[in-house]
Amino acid sequence: MHTISPSSSEIFEKEHIDKKQYLKNELKSLGIEPKRKDQLNDNEEELQSLSDNIKQAMFQDYKMAYSEKGEIHKEEAESTVSVG
């Protein structure tokens, strides 16, 4: 029995598609719905950059919220914003 193994270009293409799908899923988990291909350059580098930027912004917000400065900003926000 003779088995045909995939070529290196086929393997590369599958890995590339898997990576793009992973990044799209990661963006969805962050609450971002990637746009259709004609609305956004659907390349791996752009998706990676977008995902990294969103995670960095969320991390900075988290650090600010749980730092001493976060308490000052919280008090300032509560004094200027009325809820209800």
Q: How far apart are CA 82 and CA 84, in angstroms?
A: 7
Burial class for 51, CB neighbours closer than 10 Å (0-12, 13-18, 19+): buried
pLDDT of residue 84: 47
Tell me the chain's radius of gyration from C-alpha atoms: 21
pLDDT at position 62 is 83
Q: What pLDDT does 38 receive?
A: 57
Structure tokens at 4: 């045909």
Q: What is the mean pLDDT of each run of 10 residues along the chain (84 residues)?
A: 69 78 85 66 78 88 77 64 52
Q: What is the pLDDT of residue 28?
A: 85
Q: Please say whether the beta carbons of 34 and 47 come within 8 A.
A: yes
Question: From the CB of residue 47, how many other CB atoms can be counted at a distance below 10 Å?
Answer: 22
